Amino acid sequence: MRVVALIMAGGRSKRFGGNIEKPIVRFMGKPLIRRVIEATKESKRITETYVAVTSYSPKTAREAAEASVKIIETKGQGYHADLQQAVQEANLTCPVLAISSDLPLLNGEFLDEIIGKYEESGKPALTVLVPEEAFRKYGVSAVSPYEHEGKMYAVSGINILDGRQVLEEQEQEVIFSRRPEAVFNVNSSKDLESAKNYLLRTRGDSKRNKD
């Protein structure tokens, strides 16, 4: 099955503060957008990677171009409108894995697991939600609440949709993840610091276990 990754990187980054483009904020030596692109390239299931940018994110566009992925410039009319425009302009008539550009702990293995769950569901769309207690556990702000079956979750920024039906409402599989790959959605400098501390802590634990 052909699966295309579409990284959404055209927002104004108002929550992050200042005039900086959030996708190019550096995390552990690399811009956030680079880390997400690398995760898609690590995936064994993703065939191509596109990055959707806008006039608000010219530096992000240059960074993505240097990473040898396909760039689509959208109108900057909001996440869903830009997603629809990108899918249509690139003629993506296949499953599209839409990913936020601010998920620094993503990796190919996790993305492949999500794609596997999508295939198993048999539905045209899938969304990944994160229980609010997971955000609290890791000290990350949950700024995109989502109610499902009477309980509140947070949007992870990871979704799959059928590109052939991008303008239609699609039946979706909903899965829940407490994995750091989904939880650490960076919306502030505090979130960035929390992600850094988590990564340093887990690396330290891994080193001690080997010793």
Backbone angles phi, psi at 191, to 5 degrees: -60, -40
Residue type, 178: R
Give the distance from CA 180 to its chain's centroid. 12
Give the predicted TM-score (pTM) of the model: 0.91
Asked if pLDDT for residue 46 goes beyond 50, the answer is yes
Task: Calculate mean pLDDT across residues 47-72.
Answer: 96
Domains and CATH numbers, the chain: 3-210 (3.90.550.10)
Q: Which tens digit of pLDDT belongs to each residue from 118-160? A: 999 999 999 999 998 888 888 887 667 778 888 889 899 999 9
Do the strands 46-53 and 3-8 form a parallel or antiparallel pair, or are they unpaired? parallel
| Residues 61, 179, 184: CA angle, nearest 5 degrees | 40
Report yes or no: 47 and 6 within 8 Å, Cβ to Cβ. Answer: no
